[in-house]
Amino acid sequence: MRLRSAPSIPPDPRRPAGLRPARIADVARLAGVSTATVSRALSTPERVSAPVRVRVLEAVEQVGYLPNPAARSLRSQKSRMVLVVLPDLANAFFSRILQGLEDVLFEAGYGMIIGNLDGSPEKEARFAAFLATGHVDGAILLNGRLIGQTRDGQGEAAPTAVPLVALCEAIPGAAIPQVEVDNRVAARRATLHLAGQGRRRIAYVAGPAGNVLERERFAGYREGLCEAGLAFDADLVLAGDYSLEAGVRAAEILIRGPLTVDAVFCSSDAMAVGLMGALADAGIEVPRAVAVAGFDDIELASMVRPALTTIHQPRREIGRMGARVLLDLIAGRDVAHHTVLETHLVVRSSTG
Amino acid sequence: MRLRSAPSIPPDPRRPAGLRPARIADVARLAGVSTATVSRALSTPERVSAPVRVRVLEAVEQVGYLPNPAARSLRSQKSRMVLVVLPDLANAFFSRILQGLEDVLFEAGYGMIIGNLDGSPEKEARFAAFLATGHVDGAILLNGRLIGQTRDGQGEAAPTAVPLVALCEAIPGAAIPQVEVDNRVAARRATLHLAGQGRRRIAYVAGPAGNVLERERFAGYREGLCEAGLAFDADLVLAGDYSLEAGVRAAEILIRGPLTVDAVFCSSDAMAVGLMGALADAGIEVPRAVAVAGFDDIELASMVRPALTTIHQPRREIGRMGARVLLDLIAGRDVAHHTVLETHLVVRSSTG
DNA sequence: TGACGCGATGTAATCGATTACATGAAGTTT
DNA sequence: AAACTTCATGTAATCGATTACATCGCGTCA
């Protein structure tokens, strides 16, 4: 019989109500309960009685209450924000991954802050600070490196322990969960496909030297050659860095040089598209004279003519999975240290 | 002669220092000053004496102090965060704009939160709440609409007054600053270019009906025809929505139909690329049989073959300018209500 | 010399939520 | 019926910074 004294919360003398966002105290006053009860009614509804719950929710509705994220974050030491670190925002490869991340993060009530490294150490330092200050509850790394590791090279561990997850590219030596595809198997499959089309001199356009992805894809290329009974020829390996321009340069070498090839496996779609464009400009027909295959299946691959045969990476799913792993980590649940998603070969007209 | 009693700040009993991020009190204790002085030394260095300043900065360095953003934000009512609202994160058109925004926002110490609408009212509502709760200090709108306007259709003004800036697409009826290009002039120039190549039956693939950009670009197309002495023929206007698929559909109509055209002006590059791909598949040669021009100059435009003639929008610059306007607004400075950036025609091989 | 102003600094209120602890009522066990 | 739980709720501490206001010492001016 609620003889309980309703808490008397003094009205805010500062500004006329309505000209100022409602605070939790406004809701409490209107509902005739304490701020603690309002907080509980919103975050753990099962902990308050039904009549009080509806009174609170009505009051929330009436004054248009929205919790202040800074106050909530200060007290609870969680920000409901995730940082997504990527090397280059303009790179089309990342956009679908971002979409996948957003799908899951939004659903879970998390916001997404973009950390575009852009090759700048200042940016890296700032984003590292985001991790150290609790600005975000976790981070997704798409850059293949950790960020802002040690303070003074003393090998001292970072003072923060924000959960991190690496996508696409394993980070050597870092004990953080990874979500990626089996690059080696996929590259082998692409190479075998070219060989299966009767191609015998299959060139390879490489990624950046030393890169983890590059190592795997190159190994897959060699395995594919081997399995098809073709000899590996180091002359058929052309340097590259995954960029469109690298594909153009590779094409120039093929056009000029004494090399004869009947197929090119590019370790990224961007390079394949650059290469095909340069070949077309030189009057070399794809796939009649040279078959071309790529890796990634970015949107572009199906838009160019001839459309590009490539390895499909489930980028949106990589993003979704990465977000799920990160949320598990944040919630303290166990996670798989390594998640491998399936790729498949998409055959289009660039390989006849 | 500093006989001034150094404030005695009790040590934190909770956890051994070093296992916990440093707070402002740790710095104050080490430097032998009050927390107020530390705060001033960091935010308004000219307000503290030189010796104290260096002591504080040394202490900051020594304990690795980084201000807690939630606490700062709660007290100062600013978050140093900006929300960027866009309709579709995967759309390549936006990536360079994001880069431009990031360039300037980072420089000014602001972080960027991505609000991907994705056609979902829930997302829109959540992002609107970001504006209302002070989660962000301002927002960039790339979606051509305001978000989360009125609470109950009562016409009551939104309780928030966070600065907003619209990019690319003017928002009808909204009194917020705009940064865009002169779509009409650009479309006229593209149309005149096609006419100048001797093309007489120039089709137009439209954007979404009613869209502001579409109205301007269509008007520019008609002006261009008129100026070139060509009659406008409503049959040559094909429906579209800026998507690649719309370009494919337009191509199908041209291939099947009784229409004869010798040029197509697509009001977006994506449609132009879809159209060119479908024409190529049907054996229709571009530019010999049909010249094609687009609008936007997305990366794709120079990658396809034939490379696409198009209107270059300075997307990164649009982002930069938009961010500058928003920062001015946040700082309470006067801003231009309408900023128009220059476009130019990029002639490539799709128009011969 | 006294009043005043000013610069440097400390004290403590404040931002708005969450949550540990206290309290009182009702139910349950022995 | 005493003792103990449990549930619903209130009170007040707390998160970590910024900042209004107070204070102190010193120089300046009348």
Q: Three-state DSSP class for A225?
A: helix
Which residues in chain B are closer than 8 Å to A92, comparing Cβ atoms? 92, 95, 299
How confident is the prediction for chain A on average, in pLDDT?
A: 91
A11-30 tens-digit pLDDT: 655 455 556 889 999 999 99
Q: With 60 as the cut, is the pLDDT of residue A152 above it?
A: no
Q: What percent of chain A has pLDDT over 90?
A: 83
Which pLDDT score is estimated for A328? Answer: 95
A62-112 tens-digit pLDDT: 999 999 999 999 999 999 999 999 999 988 899 999 999 999 999 999 999
Phi/psi for A336 (5° steps) reads -70, 135
Q: Give the span between the Cα atoms of A46 and B70, in whole angstroms.
A: 28
Contact A92 B281 (CB under 8 A): no
Does the C-beta of B79 come within 7 A of strand D?
no
Q: Three-state DSSP class for A55?
A: helix
B86 sits in which H/E element: strand B81-86
- Dihedral of CA atoms B244, B245, B248, B250 in degrees, nearest 10, equals -100
Q: What is the pLDDT along chain B (352 residues), one digit of tens a residue?
A: 334 556 666 665 545 555 689 999 999 999 999 999 999 999 999 999 999 999 999 999 999 999 999 999 999 999 999 999 999 998 889 999 999 999 999 999 999 999 999 999 999 999 999 999 999 999 999 988 888 754 333 333 344 579 999 999 988 888 899 999 999 999 999 999 999 999 999 999 999 999 999 999 999 999 999 999 999 999 999 999 999 999 999 999 999 988 789 999 999 999 999 999 999 999 999 999 999 999 999 999 999 999 999 999 999 999 999 999 999 999 999 999 999 999 999 999 999 8
Residue A58 at interface with chain B, using a CB cutoff of 8 Å: no
Interface of B with A in 62-101 (CB under 8 A): 64, 66-71, 73-74, 79, 81, 89-92, 95-96, 98-99
User: CB–CB of B248/B274 below 8 Å?
Assistant: yes
In chain B the first and final C-alpha atoms are separated, in Å, by 83
Alpha carbon of A99: minimum distance to chain B alpha carbons (Å): 6
- Rounded to the nearest 10 degrees, the angle between the axes of helix A212-227 and helix A183-196 is 40
Which pLDDT score is estimated for A174? Answer: 83
* H-state helical runs in chain B: 24-31, 35-43, 50-63, 69-76, 92-107, 121-132, 183-196, 212-227, 244-256, 269-281, 299-303, 315-330
Q: With 60 as the cut, is the pLDDT of residue A315 above it?
A: yes
Strand order in the sheet with B344-346: B237-238, B202-205, B263-266, B291-296, B309-312, B344-346
Q: Report residue A151's pLDDT band, with 50, 70 and 90 as the boundaries.
A: very low
In chain A the first and final C-alpha atoms are separated, in Å, by 82
Which pLDDT score is estimated for A255? Answer: 95
Residue A260, C-beta contacts closer than 8 angstroms, at least 6 positions apart:
A201
- Work out whether strand A344-346 and strand A338-341 pair parallel, antiparallel, or are unpaired: unpaired
- The residue whose two tokens read 């039956």 is B201
Does the C-beta of B209 come within 7 A of strand C?
no
The residue among B98, B71, B83 whose CA lies nearest residue B132 is: B83
Which residues of chain A (55-94) touch nucleic strand C at CB < 7 A? 65, 67-68, 71-72, 74-76
Q: With 90 as the cut, is the pLDDT of residue A163 above it?
A: yes
Q: With 60 as the cut, is the pLDDT of residue A307 above it?
A: yes
CA of B135 to C1' of C17 (A): 14
CA of A2 to C1' of D11 (A): 18
The residue among B221, B205, B343, B220 whose CA lies nearest residue B272 is: B205
Give mean pLDDT, residues A163-170: 94
Q: What is the DSSP letter of B138?
A: E
User: CB–CB of A74/B74 below 8 Å?
Assistant: yes
Strand order in the sheet with B138-141: A338-341, A178-181, A164-167, A138-141, A81-86, A111-116, B111-116, B81-86, B138-141, B164-167, B178-181, B338-341
Residue A11 at interface with chain B, using a CB cutoff of 8 Å: no
Does the C-beta of B36 come within 7 A of strand C?
yes
Q: Three-state DSSP class for B85?
A: strand
The residue among B350, B22, B11 whose CA lies nearest residue A134 is: B22
Residue A128 at interface with chain B, using a CB cutoff of 8 Å: no
Q: Give the span between the Cα atoms of B150 and B166, in whole angstroms.
A: 18
Q: Which of A71, A134, A300 sits opposite B68 (nearest CB)?
A: A134
| Cis status of the peptide bond prior to A306, with omega within 30 of 0 | yes
Contact B99 A111 (CB under 8 A): no
Interface test with A, best of B14, B61, B73 (most A CBs within 10 A): B73
Which sign, positive or negative, has the C-alpha torsion A175, A179, A185, A186?
negative
**CA B269 to centroid of chain Cα atoms:** 18
- Give, in order, the Cα–Cα distances in Å from B148 to each of A296, B122, B174: 37, 10, 13
Residue of B174 and A217 predicted with greater confidence: A217
Which pLDDT score is estimated for A111? Answer: 96
Q: Give the span between the Cα atoms of B244 and B238, in whole angstroms.
A: 14
